[in-house]
Amino acid sequence: MCQNKVLNLITYGCQMNKYDSETIAGILQDYSLSNELTEADVVLVNTCAVRQHAEDKLYSLLGRLSKIKDIKPDFKIGVCGCVAQQQGNNLIRKFPSVDLVIGPDNLNRLPDLLDKVYKGGKIVLTEHQPLPDDTLPSKRMNKIKAYVPITIGCNNRCTYCVVPYTRGSLRSKPAYQIIDEIKKLVESGYQEITLLGQNVNDYGIDFRETKLDFRELLIMISNINGLKRIRFITSHPKNFNYELINTIPQLKNICAYIHLPIQSGSDKILKLMNRGYTLKFYQQLVEYLREKVPEVSLTTDLIVGFPGEEEEDFEKTLKVVEEIKFDSAFTFKYSPRPNTESASFPNQIPEEIKQKRLEKLIELTSRITKQKNQQLVGKTTEILIEGKNPQDPSFLMGKTKTDKVVFIPSNGKSLMGEFVNVKLIRCGTFSFKGELINS
């Protein structure tokens, strides 16, 4: 049915969504991919619902796509991902030009649903499945590093977060499936694997018979022959236990890079967020982590303007950011999300205050990131070359084990997928310039 059809696949949101898009491209491998909206027979938008801003991007895109449909009636529009899951039928009600709404658990149904759409059907499918079909093909966009989900969904109930409503409750993939997928990737030349989960530390809590936790899974993965680098995102402070920290330095292919969202520096706000830890607990965890893994690069997420956040709470966030000195931080303005508890909390913070706090926080986190980068200038380190610098192809782009981006002159070499030693000679906030060291 799809013969000669052209697909334009647009992805918003997190790595999990990017992984899903690779699955979509794999399932629909008979389609030719195009980045041009006007060339496409069908557009699939893989969406994110985590903040209103991400959802708004979808709505403005759907407005543009509807206009294409006005002049090209056979053009089909599909919405996948978290907004599809959350809005379901509402999406077609608001945007009658949308033909297909499909949640992340049902991607295996895409080919036959699209066939129905070509016959004029309008389809909405948002049922959660026990575990999404893991035998689906994937068209990986990167040949050096790959993402592998280990859990789907989330059992935490952070009061601001939409994920449990879009991705459902936590389901861990069986270890043998994960190991199998990674072994195949390594055999086909992948050097780096990033394990994905909303909270990787919760891996296995849903197993009834087998007792296997994240630390044990990590050890099994680490033993896969030929696997050079392993990362995992995202860790949750409340169950990132000390035993796991003790294990990291023993496993040589685990990267010294931890993304550990703190969200706020105020105990009052952490409680309202239902994060399950106090500031003191977080600080002690970081202290222990830095003692055991001294070279660790630590990144975080921060939300400003959570309901009830007073100036003194925000000051506490600034203080802890100054004290801990994260390697980098993702900073967000609180965005009330449908169904979440905090959307109906009193004392919502006005937009102008959120904006001011965000700007102040970004100024601080960027200054610290740059300072931390400057401390590394002059040092020698190993990077894995991932490709060319898209802005300047005469430079190659690689990453350190600690996830720092380094550009080096290519001097006509490709070096794709190779580990090379470089000296860091200059830095900005987001990257380094380095030079190759002949070894």
Residues that bind ligand 5AD (CB under 6 A): 50-51, 160-161, 261, 263, 301, 303, 332, 334-335, 337
Nearer to ligand 5AD, 221 or 358 (CB): 358
Nearer to ligand SF4, 42 or 48 (CB): 48
> Per CB under 6 A, does 82 bind ligand SF4?
yes
How is 89-142 classified by DSSP, letter by letter? HHHHHH-TT--EEE-GGGGGGHHHHHHHHHTT--EEE----SS--TT-----S-
* ∠ Cα 250 397 140 (to 5°): 75
Residue type, 45: V
The residues, ordered by sequence, that sit 6+ positions from 154 with a Cβ below 8 Å of its Cβ are 161, 163, 164, 167, 169, 170, 198, 199, 202
Residue 49: name its binding partner from ligand SF4, ligand 5AD, none (Cβ under 5 to 8 Å by kind). Answer: ligand SF4
Nearer to ligand SF4, 335 or 365 (CB): 335
- Burial (0-12, 13-18, 19+ Cβ within 10 Å), 74: exposed
Identified binder of ligand SF4 from the candidate list 7, 8, 9, 16, rule CB under 6 A: 16
CB of 141 to ligand 5AD, least distance (A): 21
> Per CB under 6 A, does 227 bind ligand SF4?
no
CB of 229 to ligand 5AD, least distance (A): 23
Q: Which stretch binds ligand SF4 (CB under 6 A): 47-55, 221-229, 270-278, 383-391?
A: 47-55
Nearer to ligand SF4, 9 or 385 (CB): 9
Give the per-residue contact string, 352-371, with ligand SF4 (x = CB under 6 A; - = no): --------------------
Closest CA to 273 of 281, 282, 260, 264: 264
Give the per-residue contact string, 145-164, with ligand SF4 (x = CB under 6 A; - = no): -----------------xx-
Nearer to ligand 5AD, 133 or 359 (CB): 359
> % helix / strand / coil in the chain, to the nearest 5?
40, 25, 40
- Burial (0-12, 13-18, 19+ Cβ within 10 Å), 196: buried
DSSP strand pairing (145-149 vs 432-436) = unpaired
> Per CB under 6 A, does 13 bind ligand SF4?
yes
DSSP strand pairing (229-233 vs 192-196) = parallel
Nearer to ligand SF4, 153 or 398 (CB): 153
> Per CB under 6 A, does 11 bind ligand SF4?
no
H-type alpha helices, 198-260: 214-222, 242-247
Identified binder of ligand SF4 from the candidate list 48, 117, 406, 408, rule CB under 6 A: 48
HSE on the CB side for 420, CA within 13 Å?
25
> Per CB under 6 A, does 14 bind ligand SF4?
yes
Q: What token pair was written down for 83?
A: 């907004």
Nearer to ligand 5AD, 170 or 221 (CB): 170
d(CA 320, CA 316): 6
Residue 261: name its binding partner from ligand SF4, ligand 5AD, none (Cβ under 5 to 8 Å by kind). Answer: ligand 5AD
CB of 337 to ligand 5AD, least distance (A): 5
The residues, ordered by sequence, that sit 6+ positions from 197 with a Cβ below 8 Å of its Cβ are 149, 150, 151, 203, 232, 233, 234
**Residue ranges in 186-215 that form contacts with ligand SF4 under rule CB under 6 A:** none
Closest CA to 158 of 196, 128, 198: 198
Nearer to ligand 5AD, 38 or 52 (CB): 52
Identified binder of ligand SF4 from the candidate list 140, 145, 167, 173, rule CB under 6 A: 167
Residues interacting with ligand SF4, by CB under 6 A? 13-14, 16-17, 48-50, 81-82, 162-163, 166-167
